[in-house]
Structure 1
Amino acid sequence: MRRYDGRRVLVTGAGSGIGQGIALRLLSEGAQLVAADINDEGLKTTIEAATEEQRARLHTLTLDVADPESVSATVSAAVEFLGGLDVLVNAAGIMRAGHTHELPLDVWNKVLAVNLTGTFLVTQQALPHLIETQRGVVVNFSSTSAFGSVPYMSAYAASKAGVNAFTHAIALEYVKQGLRAVNIVPGGIGTGLTAGLDLPADADWSLLARLPGWIEGGMLGKPEDVAGAVAMVASDDGRYITGTEIRVDGGALM
């Protein structure tokens, strides 16, 4: 499919995991795309994974979503390279785990700064350009943790619940300007982010046993599973979808 021929896309968190999977999927469907990430080495792997033809439509930029100056500069550079902006995918995010009563304030602040404030900052800078197209799309990333109880990750759950509310708010605020805003809600997806999660040494695994989805016997999903959902909802196939969530969780919240 070539649903993204002529579409101009910015994907944050595109140097690994879900963000990288989305960038590669949209490139495969014809997008002109800027892949942004704080990890320059990760961005190199995104370039390497793209075909030669796709690289001609791909540009990479270093981005710290928690830094307003970095966000402003990156969005401006992306729009200059692309000649406008049709789709924003806010896939950058971090996870931290720990007993809530022991969680340092700086960890709490960092998780919210990246996951929630970072989503706000990038969206805020991108909105004028998305509105200009009269068919702009914002794809944000929530989590099943925002809907179901997840132990040891209160900061992460709170940040993702905030993304839910933010997405619904902008979906209504800008609906008359043709903007759509949608939350993707992944469950357990096998990425470096989830593999590197450091749970407390005394974590009660009986509290965590309910988290994996049921599809394929509870196996973790793959970045391409999420990328397929994003490719649909941000294309014209999703033109009647806004202000809502799309779960890609293998049935974790059934």
Structure 2
Amino acid sequence: MDLTHRFAEYRALVTGGGSGIGRATVLRLLDEGAAVAAADVSAPGLEETRELASGAGTADRLTTTVLDVADEESVRDGAGAAVEGLGGLDVLVNAAGILDSAHTETMTLAFWNRIIGVNLTGTFLVTRAALPALLATGRGVVVNFSSTSAAFAHPYMAAYAATKGGIQSFTHALAAEYSKRGLRAVCVAPGSIDSGMTRAPGLPEDLDADLLAKLSPALGKGFAGPETVAGAIAMLASEDGAFITGTELRIDGGTHM
């Protein structure tokens, strides 16, 4: 199937576009014809994304903006500029997020608030900023990032799991609230994906390895790459996903069957 034009005339904003799944999503949507604004807190990361798009011959449809999703002013200015530059917005992908781990009994409030601020509050702030433009199209799509940790026990990740469960609930509410205005809202719930985030999850040195033994994909192929999730996002955000809203798609190679 030729997918090079599936997103022709679509305009997308992707947070976390400077690395990992966010970057893979930027490149996938560009490959399929979209005009994309990639946002990230890391300017060097965004430059690397641009270089990859240049190599693929799609950089002419890419704009970048440095944006801290946990900062209200940064989101207002950055998202506003991105949408203005695109001339509107059809797709929002809230891929920005952080993962860190700790024993819950010794977890500090600062640790908790940092993860909540980026993952959950950041998803809200960017979505709120993008909603007017998304609703104006009558076909807007929001793709949020949950995680398998939202529904399955992942030790040492209580703060992270709480944000991902919150994002799922937020997405359900958003889908219901704006369904009659043509907006769809969905989640992807990745697990067993090889990315910068999962390579350095900050696990405690005195962890119990037995508690983590179950976190292996059943397919026997090892962890998948970020492009696996990007492909699913492209389906959900396109007309191929037109009858999917208010739910999440688990992408984990059967880790949690």
What TM-score range do you get, normalising by the shorter chain? over 0.9
Name the counterpart of 1:104.
108
**Greater Cα shift, 239-248 or 208-217:** 208-217
Q: 2:179 aligns with which of 175, 178, 181?
A: 175
Name the counterpart of 2:7.
4
3-state SS in 1 of match to 2:33? coil
Q: 1:1-254, aligned counterparts within 5 Å?
A: 1=3, 2-51=5-54, 53-217=57-221, 219-254=222-257
TM-fit CA distance, 1:204: 0.5
TM-fit CA distance, 1:51: 3.2
Aligned mates of 2:110, 2:178 — CA distance in 1: 34
3-state SS in 2 of match to 1:51? helix
How high is the TM-score relative to the length of structure 1? 0.98
Q: How many residues align?
A: 253
**Sequence identity of aligned pairs in percent?**
57
3-state SS in 2 of match to 1:84? coil
Contact 1:185 / 1:246 at 8 angstroms: preserved in 2?
A: yes
The amino acid across from 1:86 in the alignment is D
**Greater Cα shift, 203-212 or 8-17:** 203-212
CA RMSD of aligned residues (A): 0.8
Contact 1:63 / 1:70 at 8 angstroms: preserved in 2?
A: yes
The amino acid across from 1:89 in the alignment is V
Aligned mates of 1:74, 1:3 — CA distance in 2: 27
Aligned mates of 2:7, 2:254 — CA distance in 1: 29
Contact 1:4 / 1:29 at 8 angstroms: preserved in 2?
A: yes
TM-fit CA distance, 1:187: 0.4
Deviations 1:106-162 (A, max 9, x none): 010000000000000000010011000000000000000000001001000000000
Aligned mates of 2:232, 2:122 — CA distance in 1: 22
**Greater Cα shift, 160-169 or 207-216:** 207-216
Which consecutive unaligned segments of at least 5 residues does structure 2 have?
none
Aligned mates of 1:202, 1:40 — CA distance in 2: 35
Aligned mates of 1:170, 1:55 — CA distance in 2: 32
Aligned mates of 2:219, 2:52 — CA distance in 1: 28
Which consecutive unaligned segments of at least 5 residues does structure 1 have?
none
3-state SS in 1 of match to 2:220? helix
Aligned mates of 2:107, 2:223 — CA distance in 1: 27
Aligned mates of 2:60, 2:136 — CA distance in 1: 25
The amino acid across from 1:226 in the alignment is V
